[in-house]
A = this chain, B = another copy of it.
Amino acid sequence: MNKQGLKIAVIGGGSSYTPEIVEGFINKYNEMPVRELWLVDIEEGKHKLEIVGELAKRMVEKAGLSIKVMLTLDRREAIAGADFVTTQMRVGLLAARRRDEHIPISHGVIGQETTGPGGMMKALRTVPVILDICRDIEELAPEAWLLNFTNPAGIVTEAVQKHTKVKTVGLCNSPINFQKFLAKEYGVAEREVLPEFVGINHLHWVTAAYVNGEDKLQEMIQGGKDYSATNVAAFDWDYDFLSSLGALPTYYLRYFYMTDVMFAEMKESMEKNDTRADVVSRVEAELFELYKDVNLTEKPKQLEKRGGAYYSEAAVNLMHSLYTDRRDIQTLNVRNNGIIPFLPEDASIEVNCVVTAQGPIALPLQRVPEQITGLLHAVKTYESLTIEAAITGDRGIALQAMVHHPLVPSIAVAKQLLDEMLLANKAYLPNFFAE
């Protein structure tokens, strides 16, 4: 890596998240000096890129650092010679997300952008674009690390690992959030906690929660009832279920374990034009209004409402460990390599890793509860089939992926959804609609 300071390329630099990562670079500057920060976007995103880019420049200036912030629509210029490339983009923009949510719900199925039929469409749109970016990296920055935040992060990361030579890691803020929660709950430093995660992106279970070397998981589950008053969002799980599960499921597992409740909520939201796409749309509009303010020189508090808290902390932590060979433990999306023995060797999984200068090394798991295996296997298989469908444009494989997804109730529904959703995404699916 560049010892004189790093070159960073942020693909989708016009995102409302950008101030987060800029703040991260500023905070870690002493240990990991960034020389050039390239924010890249596409023509349609130019306006937002300029707004958020100018804010980034003001933030750097206020911090008194010599980070050069570059705004560009030329991706290759940004990637050339980069040490790190990150992606945070949405192919099809929020309009596509809206369809990912609305169409399934109108067929009685969970509609959500990271899993289910919606997540599948997002994957089909995104994978070809990411692989294009990877071709550029292979050519222009073959030693660069690609840090992928783009959802569905597990699928995207696995696609890159299977189909390119690019060194990549997938990242989610969910593990770091749990870690912070755990530390806070027990009143210790983050460094003193060590949860064990088993699973894949957005489908993991916490199977141990060490605090200063002692496992507090049972205590947390037992205390579940008491928590419920104050932590309703985090722990609204049936106590008997949690207790016999012997693990804490991630929030996203509610789609699978509480499908009826979640669907009802989503349906209601849809009827009120208040799905996540709608909400994010409004939040983003507000954020960009704030960003335009030339007096704003730091990340505004309101960004936290956007979701994605601590994303940038996770990303900057990872870069820092890769840069300094820090060998600390982080929870990342990496190649399975037998860590979860029943999943394919080349599947991406989300587990604890030691991060060395050569990359993350996934740590063997102490325990994979039997009662999570089938669900985990089914969703991972859906993911792998989706990657294959994205690359080949084969409708048969797409149908198998859809049918195999646990949230899709039958072949008949899968076919309807697939036909309607592929058509709705036609503009972004050249592989499926080749001449």
Contacts and interface: CB of A to CB of B under 8 A. Distances in A.
A375 B406 CA distance: 8
Given A244-B396, A399-B241, A404 B371 contact: yes
A260 B327 contact: no
A209 B341 CA distance: 28
A210 interface: yes
A245 interface: yes
A98 B329 CA distance: 47
Contacts of A356: 194, 210, 213
Contact of A258 (B210, B329, B400, B411): B411
A411 B241 contact: yes
B374 A406 contact: yes
A75 to B, nearest CB: 27
Given A260-B413, A339-B364, A396-B244, A374 B382 contact: yes
Contacts of A362: 364
Given A373-B377, A374-B377, A396 B240 contact: yes
A257 B374 contact: no
Interface residues of A, number: 66
Nearest to A389: B244
A429 interface: no
A159 interface: no
Interface string A192-235: 10100000000000000010111100000000000000000000
Copies of this chain, count: 4
A406 B237 CA distance: 19
A279 interface: no
Contacts of A361: 363-364
Contacts of A329: 327, 354
Contacts of A210: 325, 356-358
A373 B214 CA distance: 36
A435 interface: no
A103 interface: no
Given A260-B412, A377-B342, A400 B358 contact: no
Contacts of A354: 327, 329, 354, 363
A378 interface: yes
A245 B400 contact: yes
A357 B415 contact: no
A412 B212 contact: no
A338 interface: yes
B374 A410 contact: no
Contacts of A403: 241, 257, 371
A413 B361 CA distance: 40
Given A192-B325, A354-B354, A377-B373, A261 B410 contact: yes
Nearest to A208: B358
A207 B358 CA distance: 14
A281 interface: no
A73 interface: no
Given A194-B325, A210-B357, A374-B382, 13 more contacts: A214-B357, A215-B358, A240-B396, A241-B399, A244-B397, A245-B400, A257-B410, A329-B354, A341-B342, A354-B354, A371-B385, A374-B381, A377-B377
Closest A-B pairs by Cβ, 6 of them: A374-B378, A213-B357, A244-B396, A342-B342, A371-B400, A377-B377
Interface of A: 192, 194, 210, 212-215, 237-238, 240-241, 243-245, 257-261, 325, 327-329, 337-339, 341-343, 354, 356-358, 361-364, 370-371, 373-375, 377-382, 384-385, 394-397, 399-401, 403-404, 406, 409-413, 415
28 contacts: A210-B325, A213-B325, A213-B358, A237-B411, A238-B412, A240-B399, A240-B415, A241-B403, A244-B394, A244-B396, A244-B399, A258-B411, A258-B412, A259-B410, A260-B410, A260-B412, A260-B413, A261-B410, A327-B328, A327-B329, A338-B338, A338-B341, A338-B364, A342-B343, A371-B404, A374-B381, A377-B378, A406-B406
